[in-house]
Amino acid sequence: MDATDLFPPESDADEAWHIDPRDNDPRDELKRQSAFLRDAKIICPGVDIFAVPNAAKRTQWAANKAKREGLTAGVLDLVATWKGGGSAFLEFKNGKEMPDANQRDRLNMLTRQGHHCGVFRQEKSALEFLRRCGAPFIDRRGL
């Protein structure tokens, strides 16, 4: 028995994480993510959703400090948790961009660990994803 029996090499292929198709919606990533957060606060108030500030422009001193505090390339935009141990990791993109190599690596790792994760372009698809993952919803808007 050698190390490859215990730790098989990881494939270069992506795992089966969710990704929305590209679209022509003119909204940027921030507007899309903000719309999702607005709607989530209304229809799934039992879900705690918080941002991971990973894309900020920083001075070199601030960047070094953030790395010492645990900042890691590829971390996704949002983490959602709910009662019973449910969780999901969400990345928002505009209509044309795709996840970069670090984000793809993170998405693959999270999927292999058994977490729910995906890349979203529309707030409705992100909300539907959370519902499929078991997040608690109230049905005010029929989503």
Residues in contact with 58: Cβ distance below 8 Å, sequence separation at least 6, in sequence order: 66
Backbone Cα Rg of the chain: 17
pLDDT of residue 138: 92
pLDDT of residue 116: 97
pLDDT of residue 55: 64
pLDDT of residue 136: 96
Averages of pLDDT over runs of 10 residues in the chain (143 residues) are 48 85 96 97 96 76 78 91 97 96 95 96 98 89 50
Residues in contact with 63: Cβ distance below 8 Å, sequence separation at least 6, in sequence order: 71
Scanning 15-98, the segments in alpha helix (DSSP H) are 29-43, 60-68
pLDDT of residue 140: 58
